């Protein structure tokens, strides 16, 4: 059987932390023995409360957090401990969209420069072809072509996130790690960005590792869900299993704490929460 697009096996990430005692080093394990696969074209959601290790997993896949143990194989290549040169071979197929559209775009560059940079690094397009491609990318994410000559500060949060998505798309990736791509946006803009990600998935067959707090998004956007608690996977399943029939007590608490638009359901969840405290 061919290997899946991404295979993470026994991943452990630990960080050095002050031990409080001189000459003693301590380590904090943020991710512990995490294993999962993502198939071509699949959207895997990663949920868990703040500090559970979601971003650390995404960062370990991207080479932005150290892999202390385990393996991260992307397209059959080992990325854990890979050199920068080895990583470059997969760089165009593995892209990222971060939560903060303010921090992730270089404020001193024009949008054209931001979009042509990955094309210059990863394709053989000429400068003129790259500029044309940058405009086509803007159009694909619903931004006017004249955005190209402007700098990031003149755009709203949602527009910046669309530009960040255009940048990720520039090199036709097979996997995009989306780390809370909509949580800094207001509700109506969230929907626009999510619809865009969905359309791009349909058009290109790209896979997503979709890190989010939002179970409503999980329900309508993910193929599969993985629940993380203190760096460990406690449950995984279909969105329906996780959101409607959670088995693990931690997932049950997470689901019960999620805001639900349905007032009757919400009232019954509040009652269940109250009852569980007595
Ligand atoms: N570079 C680092 N050095 C030390 N500790 C770190 C580092 N990066 C993350 N951590 C710790 O690892 C744990 C997991 O952090 P992580 O950012 O992965 O959580 P998260 O699930 O993404 O949370 P959030 O939902 O708030 O974004 C936290 O306790 C965090 O303080
Ligand atoms: Mg995070």
**Residue identifier of the C-alpha nearest atom 7 of ligand 1:** 15
Would you say the CB of residue 54 lies under 6 angstroms from ligand 1?
A: yes
Q: Is residue 159's pLDDT more than 70?
A: yes
Distance 210 CA to ligand 2 centre (A): 11
Distance 2 CA to ligand 2 centre (A): 31
Which residues fall inside 5 Å of ion ligand 2, going by CB? 55
**Is 47 inside any structural domain?**
yes
Q: Is residue 150's pLDDT more than 70?
A: yes
C-beta of residue 205 within 8 angstroms of C-beta of residue 172: no
Distance 179 CA to ligand 2 centre (A): 7
Distance 56 CA to ligand 2 centre (A): 7
Count Cα neighbours of 57 within 13 Å in the Cβ-side half-sphere: 37
pLDDT tens for 62-90 read 999 999 999 999 999 999 989 888 888 88
**Is 205 inside any structural domain?**
yes
Q: What is the pLDDT of residue 86?
A: 87
**Is 164 inside any structural domain?**
no
Q: What is the pLDDT of residue 130?
A: 95
**Is 112 inside any structural domain?**
no
Would you say the CB of residue 182 lies under 6 angstroms from ligand 1?
A: no
**Is 177 inside any structural domain?**
yes
Domain with residue 68: its CATH number is 3.40.50.300
Band of the pLDDT at 260, cuts 50, 70, 90? low
Q: Is residue 269's pLDDT more than 80?
A: no
Higher per-residue confidence, 263 vs 76: 76
Q: What is the pLDDT of residue 160?
A: 92
Q: Is residue 192's pLDDT more than 80?
A: yes
**Residue identifier of the C-alpha nearest atom 3 of ligand 1:** 15
Question: Across the strands, what pairs with 73?
Answer: 7, 78
Distances (CA, A) of 257 to 118, 152, 154: 40, 36, 37
For residues 207-223, one letter each, b for 16 or more C-beta atoms within 10 angstroms of the residue's C-beta and e for the rest, the string is: bbbbbbebbebbbebbb
3-state SS, the chain, equals: CCCCCEEEEEEEEEEEEECCCCCCEEEEEEEEEEEEEECCCCEEEEECCCCCCHHHHHHHHHCCCCCCEEEEEECCEECCCCCHHHHHHHHCCEEEECCCCCCCCCCCCCHHHHHHHHHHHHCCCCHHHHHHHHHHHHHHCCCCHHHHHCCHHHCCHHHHHHHHHHHHHCCCCCEEEEECCCCCCCHHHHHHHHHHHHHHHHHHCCEEEEECCCHHHHHHHCCEEEEEECCEEEEEECHHHHHHCCCCHHHHHHHHHCCCCCHHHHHHHHHHHHHHHC
pLDDT tens for 97-127 read 998 877 789 999 999 999 999 999 888 999 9
Would you say the CB of residue 15 lies under 6 angstroms from ligand 1?
A: yes
Q: What is the pLDDT of residue 186?
A: 85
Minimum mean pLDDT among 49-53, 220-224, 262-266, 271-275: which range?
262-266
What is the residue-averaged pLDDT of the chain?
90
Number of independent structural domains in the chain: 1
**Is 101 inside any structural domain?**
no
**Is 29 inside any structural domain?**
yes
Higher per-residue confidence, 276 vs 163: 163
Question: Across the strands, what pairs with 26?
Answer: 17
Q: Is residue 55's pLDDT more than 70?
A: yes
Ligand 1 atom nearest the C-alpha of 59 is: 18
Q: Which ligand is nearest to the CA of 29?
A: 1
**Is 146 inside any structural domain?**
no
pLDDT tens for 199-257 read 999 999 999 999 998 898 999 899 999 999 999 999 999 999 999 999 999 999 999 88
**pTM of this structure:** 0.89
C-beta of residue 57 within 8 angstroms of C-beta of residue 34: yes
Q: Is residue 176's pLDDT more than 70?
A: yes
State which residues form the domain around 211: 6-93+171-277
Would you say the CB of residue 55 lies under 6 angstroms from ligand 1?
A: yes
**Residue identifier of the C-alpha nearest atom 28 of ligand 1:** 51
Distances (CA, A) of 179 to 37, 62, 104, 131, 189: 17, 12, 12, 28, 16
Would you say the CB of residue 174 lies under 6 angstroms from ligand 1?
A: no
pLDDT tens for 7-37 read 999 999 999 988 777 777 789 999 999 999 9
Q: What is the pLDDT of residue 230?
A: 96
């Amino acid at each position: 059987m061919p290997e899946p697009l991404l295979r993470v096996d026994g991943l452990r990430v630990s960080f050095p932390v002050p031990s409080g005692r001189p000459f003693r080093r301590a380590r904090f394990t943020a991710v512990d023995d995490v294993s999962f696969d993502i198939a071509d074209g699949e959207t895997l959601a990663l949920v868990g409360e703040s500090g559970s290790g979601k971003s650390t997993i995404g960062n370990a896949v991207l080479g932005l957090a150290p892999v202390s143990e385990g393996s991260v194989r992307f397209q059959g290549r080992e990325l854990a401990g890979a050199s920068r040169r080895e990583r470059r071979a997969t760089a165009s197929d593995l892209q990222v969209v971060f939560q903060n559209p303010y921090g992730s775009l270089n404020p001193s560059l024009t949008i054209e420069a931001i979009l042509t940079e990955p094309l210059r690094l990863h394709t053989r397009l000429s400068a003129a072809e790259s500029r044309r491609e940058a405009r086509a990318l803007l159009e694909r994410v619903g931004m006017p072509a004249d955005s190209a000559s402007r700098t990031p500060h003149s755009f709203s949060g949602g527009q910046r996130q669309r530009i960040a998505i255009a940048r990720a798309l520039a090199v036709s990736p097979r996997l995009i790690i989306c780390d809370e791509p909509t949580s800094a946006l207001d509700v109506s803009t969230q929907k626009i960005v999510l619809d865009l990600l969905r359309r791009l998935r349909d058009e290109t067959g790209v896979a997503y590792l979709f890190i989010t707090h939002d179970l409503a998004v999980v329900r309508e956007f993910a193929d599969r869900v993985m629940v993380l608690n203190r760096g460990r996977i406690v449950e995984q399943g279909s969105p329906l299993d996780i959101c409607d029939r959670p088995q693990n007590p931690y997932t049950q608490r997470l689901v019960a704490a999620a805001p639900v638009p349905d007032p009757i359901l919400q009232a019954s969840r509040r009652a269940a929460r109250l009852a569980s405290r007595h």
